[in-house]
Amino acid sequence: MNKRLAGVLSVVLCLCVQVNATAEVRVANIFTDNMVLQRGQKVPVWGTAAPGESVTITFVDQILTTTANESGRWFVELNPLHASFDARELTIQGTNRLHLNNVLVGEVWLAAGQSNMAMAVGISTAGALPVSEQDTQLAEDLQAGGDQSIRLFRVEKNNRTKDVVSDGWKSGSQRESVSAFSAIGYLFAQTIQKELGVPVGIIQSARGGTSIELWTPAEAYKQSELFNLQPTSEGPLIVDGITPGKLYNGMVKPLAPFAIKGVLWYQGESNIIAGNDGMRYANKLALLIESWRHAWEAKTLPFYFVQLAPFLYSERMKVGEVYHAPTELPKLWRAQESVLERIENTAIVPTTDLVDDLSNIHPLHKRPIAERLAAIALSRLYQRGANVPASPRLSNINIESGVVRVSFKQVAGRLQTSDGQAPDSFEIAGDDGRFVNAKAEIVGPQTVLLWSHEVAKPNVVRFAWNEASQPNLIDDNGWPAYPFCSADVTACDNEIPINR
């Protein structure tokens, strides 16, 4: 019996060796028909084959040959390509031959985060109409047939397999594909495509209700001096109750190093809901950016993110959730802003003017967010436009005789208000730490004066420092000024709400 079993095992082993020796050449799942390859930089292409198998990749006039390593992995880099609307073929030749058709060359971006990034063009949320029906311009574009020069790649939820799960690249002329795709991602692609006149590919990797830890490799936390965490003897590494890396491993890591121009990020709501992360989120976001750049081997990969929108977190009373003070969201706003000073080639777009319903965590106005992200990309990376649009931010504060002079930076043109009234949402406090609403007046292109008869000697100023704040102070671009508090966040915690 033992001899017979040994013989069977021997045959199975031989068959395995033979199958392995003649394994078909394969390409990573990010490479499919209809894809867009990034112009102007090296373009990695990789996959698997039998160990030692010769693999030849051909695209346009480039022919590259490599050999699969002992693990069966092969990798090449195409030389930089010129943008092209020509539908061309990329072939991979090993023991078998793969044909990837209708391949364009242009700009490629990764759109990632949680539900506000995942919110699809054609899907309704919280009883509201889908974006495709609210946005008249988008509805007309889709009715006219969409745009086949925009290509979409949607990553499905996956924390187990070693490669991404997707049904492949789809054309923007396929209405059903656009309908299921990120509204922000699609509208961003549409905006830059019209301006640049080249094909645009968008990769969506987003999942609702997810914390930032899930999108960050566990190894990054282990190696970071900011956290200095190690796995316990009883199990894996845990960060604030979360096992990091679960979604990164299946939804981001396998995408690298596919050539991309930059990353669009919209996430953070879950980090308030789960534990009021506040300023702690700054270190987490910085760690995510650095780890993704490491994965792409691109130290300055552009990373543009979205300010969390005003929402009444303090009125969420779900069982098991922590209490959220009205100042918890502003703390995370500051955390997001602080990353701009720490990490180069980052930017944030404001959202405080884009909310109609403070009880809906999913703001419906996705086009302005997408267009603001596009405006930053177009000005910073593509040298389009006379200035780099940004939300006016605090520059400095001077206090003289009970009057506070607040200066802003990054102001396009001059400060103004969206409703023609005096600036609102400013508060000042004295030594007692009690904040009161301040009267405000714009006195120069970048300056606002504040005062209150209730505070003779003000020493702290806060602006829009409340989850419900929708300030009217804007610049000539129409971008709202960014919330701030001039003191440490612990001194800004007075919960007297700003008048709505």
| Residue 237 vs residue 346, higher pLDDT | 346
Residues 227-286: tens digit of each pLDDT: 866 666 667 889 999 999 999 999 999 999 999 999 999 999 999 999 999 999 999 999
HEC letters along the chain: CHHHHHHHHHHHHHHHHHHHHCCCCEECCCCCCCCEEECCCCEEEEEECCCCCEEEEEECCEEEEEECCCCCEEEEEECCCCCEEEEEEEEEECCCEEEEEEEEEEEEEEEEECHHHHCECCCCCCCCCCHHHHCHHHHHHHHCCCEEEEEEEECCCCCCCCCCCCCCCEEECCHHHHHCCEHHHHHHHHHHHHHHCCCEEEEEEECCCCCHHHHCCHHHHHHCCCCCCCCCCCCCCCECCECCCHHHHHHCHHHCCCCCCEEEEECCHHHHHCCCCCCHHHHHHHHHHHHHHHHHCCCCCCEEEECCCCCCHHHCCCCCCCCCCCCHHHHHHHHHHHHHHHCCCEEEECCCCCCCCCCCCCCCCHHHHHHHHHHHHHHHCCCCCCCCCCCCEEEEEEEECCEEEEEEECCCCCCEECCCCCCCCEEEECCCCCCEECEEEEEECCEEEEECCCCCCCCEEEECCCCCCCCCEECCCCCECCCEECCCHHHHCCCCCCCC
Please give the pLDDT value at position 499: 37
Q: Percentage of the chain with pLDDT > 90?
A: 78
**Minimum mean pLDDT among 13-27, 117-131, 300-314: which range?**
13-27
Question: What is the rounded CA–CA span in Å between residue 155 and residue 48?
Answer: 20
Q: Supply the mean pLDDT for the chain.
A: 90
Please give the pLDDT value at position 388: 84
Q: Is 224 exposed, middle or buried (0-12, 13-18, 19+ CB in 10 A)?
A: middle
Residues 67-81: tens digit of each pLDDT: 999 999 999 999 999
| Residue 144 vs residue 175, higher pLDDT | 175
Residue range 282-296: average pLDDT? 97
Per-residue pLDDT at 7 exceeds 50: no
Per-residue pLDDT at 182 exceeds 90: yes
| Residue 10 vs residue 225, higher pLDDT | 225
Q: Helix crossing, 280-296 with 328-342: angle to 10°?
A: 40
Residue range 88-114: average pLDDT? 98
Per-residue pLDDT at 485 exceeds 70: yes
Domain boundaries, the chain: 22-105, 107-380, 395-492
Per-residue pLDDT at 294 exceeds 50: yes
Question: What is the rounded CA–CA span in Å between residue 224 and residue 5?
Answer: 51
Residues 329-344: tens digit of each pLDDT: 999 999 999 999 999 9
Residue range 121-145: average pLDDT? 73
| Residue 223 vs residue 75, higher pLDDT | 75
Question: What is the rounded CA–CA span in Å between residue 79 and residue 226?
Answer: 38
pLDDT band of residue 137 (cuts 50, 70, 90) is confident
Please give the pLDDT value at position 99: 98
Please give the pLDDT value at position 70: 97
The superfamily in CATH containing domain 107-380 is: SGNH hydrolase (3.40.50.1110)
Per-residue pLDDT at 157 exceeds 70: yes
Q: Which are the contacts of 240, defined by CB distance < 8 A and separation ≥ 6? A: 211, 213, 274, 275, 277, 280
CATH of domain 22-105: 2.60.40.10
Q: Percentage of the chain with pLDDT > 70?
A: 91
- Which CB contacts under 8 angstroms, 24+ apart, belong to 454-459? 455/402, 455/428, 455/429, 455/430, 456/402, 456/430, 457/402, 457/430, 457/431, 458/399, 458/402, 458/404, 458/428, 458/429, 458/430, 459/399, 459/429, 459/430, 459/431
**Minimum mean pLDDT among 19-23, 79-83, 210-214: which range?**
19-23
Residue range 25-32: average pLDDT? 98
Please give the pLDDT value at position 230: 62
pTM for this structure?
0.92
Residue range 394-423: average pLDDT? 96
